[in-house]
Amino acid sequence: MKKDSIYIIVLFFIISIFCFSEESNSPYYSIGLSSGIEYPLNTDFDLLRLGMNVNIENELTIPRIPWLHGRADICYSLLPVQAETSLSLIGLGIGPSFSFEITPRFLLGLSVLGGGVYGFFNNNLINADGIAYENQQGGGAFFTAGGKLSFFLTPQLSLGLNMGYVNYIGLTHGLRGAIKVTLHLDGFKKKVQYKQIEFENIFPSQYKYYAVNPVGSVLFTNNERFPAKDVSLSVFVEQYMDNPTVTLGPENLRSGESYKIVPNILLSNTVLNLTEVSKVTAQLIIDYHINGRLRQKIFYQTLTLQNRNAITWDDDRKAAAFISPKNPDILRFSKRIAGLVRERGPKTVNLNLRMAMGLFEALGTYGLSYVIDPNTLPYEDAARNMNIVDFLQYPTETLVYKGGDCDDLSILYCSLLESIGIESAFITVPGHIYSAFSLGMTPAEARKVFSGTEELIFTDDSTWIPIETTLISEGFYVAWRSGARQWRENREKDRSVLIPISHSWKTYEASGSPEIDLPIILPDVGKTLISYDGELTSFIDRELDPMVRLIQSRISQSPNPMSQRNKLGILYARYGRIDKAISEFRKILDSTEYFPALINLGNIYFLQDRYDEAFEIFSRAEAIDQNNPVVLLSLAKINYEFSNTALVNFYFTRATKLKPELSAQFSYLSSVAVDSVVRAEDVENTKNYVLWVDPEEE
C-alpha cells in the first residue's frame, strides 16, 4: 500500500510539470499540504481521542469550467487511543471540488470526496492475558465533505483554512480542521492574454509619422489574480527597426480588466528600399509586474508593408512626406538655378517670384512633361476612393523619369522651392492637385505691388501664387493664370483648399528620398536663362504698362503732380525700370526737397551699391525729419555697409523704438549689437528689401 501511494504522488508531479509549461493548454493544477486536528464523534471505539491529520491535496481545473475541479487527496490521520497506542489511517480519495472567488485574493471552496482507507494500530493491542488481538489492521471505505477559505499571498502561493466532516465507514467519523498551504502551478503562467490585434497597412513614406502616431491596437485582459503594474507593449520588426518601440500602458490593471494599447513604431529608413508589398513578422511583448516581479507575454503578428511609393488620399497632407528639400540632387538643381536668377533681373522685383519663375522654366528646359502613368490611378480617381492605394513618385524619381502626373510634378516643384527657402503649398480642387508658393509678403504689401490681385491667393498673413504644374511646357505665366482660374472657380463653391507644406510636415514629416542609381543631368543654362528672361520681361510689361498709363494720366491732369510722379517713380523702381525711376525722382527734387522722393531715390542708389550717393540723399532726408523711422533705418543700413558698428546701433535702436516691427524685418542689423553670426544669404535677402515711401499708401 505504501508503495502504491508513492506511485500516485509521482504521477501527480508528472502532471504538474506539463501544467507548469508556459504555453501549455492543459488544465490548471495545484498541490496543497494541510495539517490540523481531527475530532472523533460517536464511534465504536470509545477509546479514540482528539488526533491530527495531514493531507496532500491535488486539484485539476476542468477545461472551460474554471469553478469546477477534479480533486485527489492522499490523507493521513493519527488518532490516539486510551490503550496507549494510536490508530493510523491512510486514505486515497477522489471527487469534485468547487471554488468561487470572493475577491481575486480570497477563494471559497467546497468539496466531496470518497475512496479507500487503510488503517492499523501503531502498537499491537493485547488483552488482559497478554495475547494480541487479531485483525489489528485492514482496509475500508471513507468519504469526506467540507469547505475551505483561501487567501493568495502570491499568484503561486495561498494560505487557507479547511473545515470538514469525515466518515470512515464502519469504523469512526468526526470533524476536521486544518491550515493549508497550496502551491498553484498555474500561478507561474503569464495570464495577461491578448484578445484582439489590429494593425493598419504600413506605408514607408509615412514611417516618421508612425514614430509618434498609432499604427494599430492591441486589446488584452489581465487574467492574473493580482493587479498588473506598469504595463507596456513593445513592438519589433527585424530588418526594418533598429530597436523595439515601447508604448506605455496602464500603471495599474486590475484583475479581470481589459485595456487597449495603441502602439507606435519607430521604423528605420530602410523601408524606403521596399519596391513591392511585403509581409513581415512583428514580435509583440507585453511587459508587466506582479508583486514586484517582471513578467512578459510574447506573441507574433503579421504586418503588411506597402511599397515606398504607396499612399492613400484620406488626408491630402500625406503627400508632403514625399517632398525632399534636403536631397543632394534636389539641392544641386535648385541652388544652381537660384544662383543664376539671383544675379539676373531687377533686384526690386520680388525675389521669391523670380526664384520660383526660374525653377519652373528650368524644369521646362530640362525636358520634364506631364505624363499619366497607365499603371496607376490618376489623382481624380484615387481621391474619390480614399482607401485606394495610389502611386506617388519621389522628386528625384520624377527628374530621372522626366515625367509624372499632377501630384508627382507638384511634389517635385515644391521640393525645389522648399530647398531654397521658399514656402510652398499644395492646392486641391475636386479631382486635382497642384502647387503654390509664398511671395513672403503680407496681403497689404502685395496689393501695393501687383496690378491685379485676382491672380493671387491671400491668407491671414501671407500672399501666394498658384501654379498649375501640369503646364510645365507652357511657361510660368500660363501656369500661373491657369492655377489662379481654378482657384477662383472652386473657391466660389468652397471647394479649393490651400495646404502649406510647413503645416503638413507637423504631422507628416518629410521621409527623405530613396537612393536613385541613374544620374540627374542639370538643364542647359543658356536655354534656361533665355526662357527665364522672356517670362520675367513679359511679366513686368504686363504688370507695368497699364499702371504707368493710369498714373501718367493723373499727372497730366493734376496741377501739383509731385505725389503722382513720386508714385510713378516707385512703380518703375519696383519693376526694375531704374533709369526711369531715377528720372521721375530727379524731376521732383529739381524743384523741391520732397521727403518721399529723397528716401526713394536713396533706396535706388542703395540697391545699386552706390553707398556714398545714398548716404548723401538720406542725410538730406534726415535734415527734414530726423525722427522718421524710415530715415533712421536707411542710415543704419548705410552705416552697416560702411562697417560703422556704433552708428548702426545708434540709428537702428532709434528706428525700432519708433517702429518695433523693423527689428524682426531687419534682424541682421540687430545682430550687430550682440556680435552674432549672420548668414551672408540672409543679409543679402534683407538688404534688397527697401521701404518705399508713398504718402497715399500710408
For the segment 372-398, what is each residue's pLDDT rounded down to a tens digit? 765 555 565 555 666 688 999 999 999
The overall pTM is greater than 0.85: no
Residue 100, judged by CB atoms within 10 A of its CB (0-12, 13-18, 19+), counts as exposed
For domain 599-698, the question of CATH label 1.25.40.10 is answered with yes
Rounded distance, CA 74 to CA 32, Å? Answer: 10
Q: Which three cell numbers stand for residue 409?
A: 510634378
Alpha carbon distance, N-terminus to C-terminus of the chain: 115
For the segment 43-53, what is each residue's pLDDT rounded down to a tens digit? 555 567 788 99
Fold of 2-127+134-188: Porin (2.40.160)
Choice between 189 and 78, residue whose per-residue pLDDT is larger: 78
- Provide the b/e sequence for 613-629 (b: ≥16 CB within 10 Å): ebbebbebbbeeeeebb
Q: Which three cell numbers stand for residue 410?
A: 507638384
For the segment 290-308, what is each residue's pLDDT rounded down to a tens digit? 888 898 889 899 999 999 9
Rounded distance, CA 378 to CA 397, Å? Answer: 17
CB 648 within 8 A of CB 657: no
Mean pLDDT of the chain: 86
For the segment 494-527, what is each residue's pLDDT rounded down to a tens digit? 899 999 999 999 999 999 888 887 788 888 999 9
* Across 282-291, 631-640, 681-690, least confident range: 681-690
Mean pLDDT of 677-690: 64
CB 596 within 8 A of CB 695: yes
- Provide the b/e sequence for 376-389 (b: ≥16 CB within 10 Å): bbbbeebbeeeeeb
Residue 646 backbone phi and psi in degrees, to 5: -60, -40
Domain boundaries, the chain: 2-127+134-188, 192-305, 316-523, 525-592, 599-698
106 Cβ contact partners less than 8 Å away, ≥ 6 residues apart:
149, 150, 151, 152
Neighbours of 122 (CB within 10 A): 12
Q: What is the pLDDT of residue 385?
A: 62
H or E element: which one contains 488? helix 476-491
For domain 192-305, the question of CATH label 2.60.40.10 is answered with yes
Angle at 266 between CA 263 and CA 269, to 5 degrees: 145
Q: Mapping DSSP to helix (H, G, I), strand (E, B) and coil, where does residue 621 land?
A: helix
Q: How many Å is the maximal CA-CA distance in the chain? A: 161
Taking Cα atoms as reference points, which of 466, 460, 413, 470 lies closest to residue 438?
466
Phi-psi region of 122 (alpha: psi -120 to 50; beta: other; left: phi over 0): alpha
Rounded distance, CA 202 to CA 313, Å? Answer: 14
Q: What is the pLDDT of residue 359?
A: 97
For the segment 174-207, what is each residue's pLDDT rounded down to a tens digit? 899 999 998 877 777 767 787 889 998 999 999 9
Rounded distance, CA 422 to CA 341, Å? Answer: 14
Long-range contacts of 20-24 (CB under 8 A, 24+ apart): 20/185, 20/188, 22/189, 22/190, 24/189
CB 18 within 8 A of CB 26: yes
Q: What is the pLDDT of residue 413?
A: 97
pLDDT at 15 over 50: no
Q: What is the pLDDT of residue 190?
A: 66
Rounded distance, CA 242 to CA 207, Å? Answer: 13
Neighbours of 555 (CB within 10 A): 16
